[in-house]
Amino acid sequence: MSAIEDLIKTVAALREPDTGCPWDIEQDHQSIAECLVDECCELLQTIDRLDLDHMQEELGDVLLQVVMHTQMAQEAGHFDFESVCHVVNEKLIRRHPHVFGKDSLNSSEAVLVQWDEIKSAERKRGPTQSGIFKDLPRQLPALMFAKDVYKQIQKLELPVEAIIDQKAIDAVSATLDEVTLGKQLFEIAAACRAKGIDPESALRSYTQKLVDSLEEA
């Protein structure tokens, strides 16, 4: 039996109603959702530090969350680990025709353009969804959410002149580097603490209002 099969068997045993772990048996997708966030953050910490010794362990913890959610879905008759692997494998092949097909691309930029085109075509064939920002997970950390919203604004060339001062953004970015940006963000976080404001909540709230105003336009 392979190591992944061992892990799947172990998680199934933890969830076994009569003989498993009481805590694991009580969990559902919602109750352990935060565990996945926590484990991803711990993995990112090892990546930031290039701590390969602990990265292996943290990757395992993230994989455990995937297997646990998959086990719950299997118990409910929805899907299993095999089908999860099949879906993502098929997606990788489908979105890399330059590797698995006859297309030929010579740059990362061209790959990203093609990836977006394939995703767009897949969405059109799938269930109809409303909203300009329908593909952006609202659970992203506020900075990532804001960055992705702005990326979508640029991509779709949305009319945001009355909301966003693009000239100010361009002026700041012209002289910005990673150290300066880090310093400014830290100073903003410190100022927020001094004023009793949660910077994460403030940025998320503003970004969400921006999203709402653009989707209502």
Predicted confidence (pLDDT) at residue 104 exceeds the cutoff of 70: yes
| C-alpha distances in Å from residue 151, one per residue of 113, 136, 185 | 14, 11, 19
Q: How confident is the model at residue 155 (pLDDT cuts 50, 70, 90)?
A: confident
Domain limits, the chain: 3-91, 98-125, 142-216
Q: Distances from the Cα of 3 to the Cαs of 36, 64, 188, in angstroms?
A: 21, 12, 46
Residues 42 and 61: their CA atoms lie apart, in Å, by: 9
CA distances from 139 to 72, 77, 121, 204 (A): 22, 27, 25, 10
CATH number of 3-91: 1.10.287.1080
Q: DSSP for 49-71, please give it.
A: TT-HHHHHHHHHHHHHHHHHHHH
Q: Which of 67-81, 93-107, 156-170 has the highest mean pLDDT?
A: 67-81
Can you tell me the distance from the alpha carbon of 130 to that of 37, in angstroms, rounded to the nearest whole number? Answer: 27
Determine contact, residues 68/83, Cβ cutoff 8 Å. Answer: no
Confidence bin at 167 (pLDDT 50/70/90): confident
**With bands split at pLDDT 50, 70 and 90, how would you rate the model's confidence at 166?**
confident
Q: How many CB atoms lie within 10 A of CB 90?
A: 10
Q: What is the pLDDT of residues 176-194, one digit of tens each?
A: 888 999 999 999 999 999 9
List the end-to-end C-alpha distance of the chain, in Å, as a whole number.
56
